[in-house]
Structure 1
Amino acid sequence: MAHAAADAAGAVIRPLFRSALLVEAKGDASPVTEADRAAERAIRALLAEHLPRHGVIGEEYGSEREDAEWVWVLDPIDGTRAFVTGRPLFGTLVGLLHRGRPVLGLIDQPATGERWLGVAGQPTSFTAPFGGTAGCRPCARLADAELSCTAPDMFAPGRQAKFEQVRAAARRTTWGGDCYAYGLVALGLIDVVIEDTLKPWDWAALVPVIEGAGGRVTDWAGRDLVLGSAQGDVVALGDPALLPEVLALLA
C-alpha cells in the first residue's frame, strides 16, 4: 500500500514540478500548492478504498480515526519551498504507526525516481535509476561527522544555542534538504540531522527508514518518537555510537 500511495502522489506531483503554480500562504507562512492537496487526496482515496478502518493523519487535511490501532501519516510534499523553487530536494512521506509507534516509512522523490522503504525489523531498501545502496556509515566521533539541518531558524526559543554547540563540534554543516537529508543519512552520506518544531507527518516515515539502515532516531533527550509524546525535536544518526556525544551537547 505504501508503494501504491507514493505512486498515486507522484502521478499528481510530477506534471506540476517546475510549472507555473499558484502558491498560497498557510497560517505558518509556509508555501502550499494544489500539488500538496491533490497528492494527499489521492493517497487518502486509496486508503479509504483498501484500508477503511485505518486512521489517517495528513498535513493538508487533518486527522481521521487518529486513535485507531493502525494510523497512516502523510506529508504529500515535504519540502514545499524546494518544490516551488524547482529544487528536487523535496519528497512524499508515507508513514504507518502501530499503536503510535512508527513501523513503516517511505520516502519518495518523484522527480528523480529515488525511493526509500523502511519496515520495522527489516533492512531498508533503496531504489533509484542511477543506483545506490541503503546503509548508514560508521562515524563514532562528532568531529568526523557531516551535520545537516533544514534551516537555522527552525528552532524553538532557547534551542538554537544548543544546536550551535553540536554544529561547532561537527566536521561540517549543510543546510536544506528536509526529508531528503534523512534519506542521505540512510545512504551513508550524512551522519547527523538535528531539527526542531517538526510535526508527526515530518518524522513518522523517517524513523523506520533510518533505523532499518542501521541508524537511530530519537528526540533531544534520547527517547523514541511516539505519537502523542514527541515534541518535534529530532535527532537522526547514521551511527548510534554518536548518540551520547550529541545528547550531551543538546542537554
Structure 2
Amino acid sequence: MTPFEAFAVDLARAAAAVTLPLFRTDCGEEDKGEPGAFDPVTRADRDAEAVMRRLITERFPDHGVIGEEYGEDRPDAEYVWMLDPVDGTRAFVAGLPLWTTLIALRHEGRPVTGAIAQPVMDEIFLGGPSGALLLKGGDAPSPLKVRTCPRLNDAVIATTDPDIFTGAELGAWTQVRATARLARLGCDAYAYAMIAAGRIDLVAETSLKPWDWSALVPVVEAAGGKVVNWRGQTPDDRGQVLAVGDEGLIDQALVTLRRAAL
C-alpha cells in the first residue's frame, strides 16, 4: 500500500469515528435545497469533512482540498483531495446503511487513488497503484476484481434514483434498464463498490459533482472496470457517469445513453 493509499484509509477511519456515532440519531439535519427540492445536510457531513481537512493540512500542507461542504482550498495544486463526507445523506437521514464516505486524490487533475468507505459494515473499498482492495474490520486486505459480463441482457445494473434524470436521460436509462437482467435502485456510491467486488455490472448516473465521482474511478478501474461519461470519454464536470465491470458493456449502453449526452 502506498503512503497516499494508506492515508486515504486513515481519512476514511477518521471520518467514520465522526459519522457512526451520529447515524440513526438526531444528527442536526437541515435542508439546503431549493424550494421543492429536499437536499439534506447533517452534522455528520460537516464534522467529518472538517476532520479530514484538518488531517490533510497537517500531513500534506501543500496539497489542495475540494469538498462538498466547505468548498475549495488550493484547487490548482499538483495534488488535490476530493472529499464527500457522506455520499447518500438521504439514506443516512433515513437510517439506511448504504451511505458512504468518498475520498479521492487527484494528481494533476486525474484521480489516482480512491476510497469508498461504508462504516456501518466496516468496509473500505480502496483503489490505486497497489490495485483494488477491500479492507474489512481487522481482516487482511483482500483483492477486488470485476466479473465478466459482456452482454447487457445478462447484466445487473443500478442507479441511485431515476428521478435524477431529465426527460431525455430518463428515456435513455429506461431503455438500458429494459434490456438488463436486473436493476437495483437507492445504493448511491455503494453500487460502484459492488462493481469492483464483481456483484454489479453497470451503474449509470447524472448530475454528479467531482467529489461524487472522483473516488469511484480508481476503485472501479483498479479492479478491472472502466468509468466514462455518456459520450464514452473521461468523466467531466457535466456529471454524466457510466461505470462498468466489463468494458464490453460500454458500447451497448452508449447506444441509448449517448443520445442524451451533454
Normalised TM-score (structure 2): 0.91
- For 1:67, what is the secondary structure of its paired residue? coil
Once residues 167 and 30 of structure 2 are traced to their aligned partners in structure 1, the CA distance between those partners, rounded to angstroms, is: 27
Asked if structure 1 preserves the Cα contact closer than 8 Å seen for 2:132 and 2:143, the reply is no
1:198 aligns with 2:197: no
Question: Structure 2 vs 1, CA of residues 135 and 73 (structure 1 numbering), >3 Å: closer, same or farther?
Answer: same
Per the alignment, residue 22 of structure 1 pairs with 28
What is the Cα deviation at residue 160 of structure 1? 1.1
Once residues 231 and 70 of structure 2 are traced to their aligned partners in structure 1, the CA distance between those partners, rounded to angstroms, is: 31
Aligned length: 247
Once residues 48 and 130 of structure 1 are traced to their aligned partners in structure 2, the CA distance between those partners, rounded to angstroms, is: 28
1:1-251 equivalences under 5 Å are 1-28=7-34, 29-119=38-128, 121-129=129-137, 133-225=143-235, 229-251=236-258
Once residues 204 and 127 of structure 1 are traced to their aligned partners in structure 2, the CA distance between those partners, rounded to angstroms, is: 20
Q: Please list the CA deviations of residues 101-125 of structure 1 after superposition, one character each: whole Å capped at 9, or x if unmatched.
A: 1100001111110111100x44200
- RMSD (Å), alpha carbons: 1.4
What is the Cα deviation at residue 230 of structure 1? 3.1
Once residues 133 and 143 of structure 1 are traced to their aligned partners in structure 2, the CA distance between those partners, rounded to angstroms, is: 27
Normalised TM-score (structure 1): 0.95
In the alignment, residue 146 of structure 2 is paired with which amino acid? C
Asked if structure 2 preserves the Cα contact closer than 8 Å seen for 1:118 and 1:212, the reply is yes
- For 2:28, what is the secondary structure of its paired residue? coil
| Structure 1: tracts of 5 or more residues without a match | none
Question: Percent identical across equivalent pairs?
Answer: 49
Asked if structure 1 preserves the Cα contact closer than 8 Å seen for 2:157 and 2:202, the reply is yes
